[in-house]
Structure 1
């Protein structure tokens, strides 16, 4: 169901009179909607919020909830439309502008994203996630000084913000300022001692430093801290595999698939380990498992192409490479496109 099934604010929708009974019913609908969101039943939740509009057609929270749902579904234009209706009702809520900016950023529409992040900050100068969003965009655009200033602004507002220190560390690492990166990441670890992601950052910094034992130790610490975090397991697996610990990497990837069977990255990791051990058939199976979960994964298509190439299945490999290239092109990932083109040239394409 698209957002078009909602009657826009200012149209002729009937709103029921505000009575104790109707207010109780509205409260109950909000509870039902939240429960459905938590259960991942997004379209059912949208239907509940549509019903809620009949009780209060001028409630910005209802449109905001729909915007959140559409964001979770990756339906960013619909999410933006919903948040704009929330803004029309309550134009002073900075969080709505932040949400619109987040959607634009995920659509790679950085101009609109920046404009809405800045509007959010004007309304709430302490809205840290808006500064972070701007910093991420500047980092993607390789405007590192601007990104650095934004993360430092976050730290000035919240001196114990572990995520800002982690981001400062990653930013320093991207610029090959390794000692500075390690110092910032260690500061992040002090403020977030249970964060696996901080340890992952430290692991990459130690790799850049040439300290493989410290990198492996940090990856294992990440696994110890967050054993039920599928994404941390995948990241740790990537590090362990890069350092030659294939069996430990496989264990981490398998754990990721057990914790979250819908996450394609775990299966991609399993395929990587199998391919590194010469098991191209097992790799093909794993990459196809990943594609069952995310058919538009360019990485999975590309790696499936490599595994098929290992088996001399040239035509199938070419098809996968072409699909990967098309997806990478749509995402504006020029380096990945060049990598796929190189693989195709090896096959005479």
Structure 2
């Protein structure tokens, strides 16, 4: 098969092509077609004609015909980066992301200075939620055109979602400086500052935005949530109220007001929420938000059956949004971890180690098992720093993909060192230079302790345990992230607790890391003895300030933010008894041992 002649003599008149392209872009498609279709017959070997036809048929919403012309243009002029770029645009627009990546990649090779190719290659990865893969291409695009607003914005978004919020921050600041009245940019800058726990800067960003946009409900809503993170209850209530005033009927600030005021919420506000909840056309997102908040108010007022009905309604809505808990998948994930990280895996010293830094401390357990309280106690020590819930370990696992944990024995050279260094940079961002413990209290890191042992063989682990019935009620009544599918079904919660227990017992038997069991009920019953045992496990001297955590002004970004601003109390123990008839059976091993404080 021969390729048609594409010599200069076979080229169509440039003026006609330019005019036809101008007609296409101005929407005069019939006139453009009247010029281009004859040219395709008289100059069938001209790649510029087929590129123009590709643009025309794209505008005509005939992607199949457009694709055939652009593919032919690429074959006729394989050295043309522009042809590859235009083919990639069409492939991306029609959902052929694999083909688009190949075309954009070819364009970058043909013309390494072609900004659009690097930019669109990165954006294509972003559309597939593959932020880590997008980064090198978006960084290159930003280098080529550092003032391009869309490239800066895309790179900021990729850096944030890839876990490099510190790199995203100056980029979002650039975007906001160029567009100070851009609400979305203000919100994304605030989200980045929130991830970096720069609360004062986050508030300043929102207050500056409100000086320009005083009636922006979205900005008032974000300010309310930030005020709540900082423990400023009255200021948060005021900001939620402003958001609701500027956007009447908006469920998000309404739910925020209900959650903050609980049993003291005004009856008119509660009645408004009940009326909205009763609407059959209420969106599932709003139904879930209202159901969780109303249930807590009803529970605090002794209306336990009504509370459970609200929580059932909320969780049914959330399951419709995010799907059911996948029990077989959870079992398989745990099985693979235990199979790979068996006793033999750690029988001999690992050839590659991330870091011998002994500061990392991982507080794990089921959500609502006391992890926030535990972190607060430790963070009050002068030689410890509370990092909150760092996203870094889950992001490393996400980057490794579906091959993890099977590739644990054959990791890319240098990966552990790079990831350990990045983790330590994030964990120590706000820490004093002389701290001896960096506390990461991401509860579900119990899945990632095999990775922890590779990254930080000198790390310590605290396993928080609590009566599974109290954990179940506390999780079921709380508004968790959409991907927390286990949280929306009581049987799924019971299964998750049992699976967590089984996995933690496995880690205790194979990991070369010390693991301290801390029982919530024992801690609230005997705070000082249990706190002393905890601090001793960390290798630190006792400091009385550890029991004064409720006086701390630390930012707390978990549902426990208000509980840990009070002295230790027993009010949350035994809460399950109000809802005993609704609870499933629990695996006996899920209950904490009578003698807590076990160290392996």
TM-score normalized by the length of structure 2: 0.39
Where 2:48 maps in the other structure, the secondary structure is coil
Aligned to 2:286: 232
Q: 2:97 aligns with which of 45, 54, 58?
A: 45
Where 2:194 maps in the other structure, the secondary structure is helix
Residue 202 and residue 299 in structure 1: after superposition, are their counterparts in 2 closer, same or farther (change >3 A)? same
- How many angstroms does 1:216 deviate by? 5.0
Aligned 8 A contact 2:486 2:496 in 1:
no
Q: Give the whole-Å Cα distance in 2 for the aligned partners of 1:239 and 1:321.
A: 38
Residue 191 and residue 211 in structure 1: after superposition, are their counterparts in 2 closer, same or farther (change >3 A)? closer
Where do 5+ consecutive residues of structure 2 fail to align?
1-46, 64-86, 300-306, 327-367, 369-467, 510-555, 560-590
Q: Give the whole-Å Cα distance in 2 for the aligned partners of 1:141 and 1:69.
A: 27
Q: Give the whole-Å Cα distance in 2 for the aligned partners of 1:26 and 1:59.
A: 22
Aligned to 1:9: none
Residue 201 and residue 66 in structure 1: after superposition, are their counterparts in 2 closer, same or farther (change >3 A)? farther
Q: Which has the higher helix share?
A: 1
Aligned to 1:23: 55
Residue 122 and residue 179 in structure 1: after superposition, are their counterparts in 2 closer, same or farther (change >3 A)? closer
Q: Give the whole-Å Cα distance in 2 for the aligned partners of 1:240 and 1:117.
A: 36
Aligned 8 A contact 1:200 1:218 in 2:
no
Q: Give the whole-Å Cα distance in 2 for the aligned partners of 1:252 and 1:189.
A: 21
> 2:266 aligned with 1:79, yes or no?
no
- State the Cα RMSD in Å: 5.0
From the CA coordinates, give the structure whose radius of gyration is larger: 2
Aligned to 1:139: 194
Aligned to 1:261: 323
TM-score normalized by the length of structure 1: 0.61
- How many angstroms does 1:114 deviate by? 1.1
> 2:246 aligned with 1:191, yes or no?
yes
Where 2:173 maps in the other structure, the secondary structure is helix
- How many angstroms does 1:107 deviate by? 3.2
Where do 5+ consecutive residues of structure 1 fail to align?
1-15, 37-43, 265-271, 284-289, 323-332, 337-341
Q: Give the whole-Å Cα distance in 1 for the aligned partners of 2:507 and 2:284.
A: 26
Deviations 1:79-115 (A, max 9, x none): 2234335435654332321222222223332321112
Residue 204 and residue 278 in structure 1: after superposition, are their counterparts in 2 closer, same or farther (change >3 A)? closer
Aligned 8 A contact 1:308 1:316 in 2:
no
- Stretch moving more, 24-33 or 53-62: 53-62
Aligned to 1:315: 502
> 2:348 aligned with 1:161, yes or no?
no
Residue 221 and residue 316 in structure 1: after superposition, are their counterparts in 2 closer, same or farther (change >3 A)? farther
> 2:277 aligned with 1:246, yes or no?
no
- How many angstroms does 1:53 deviate by? 7.7
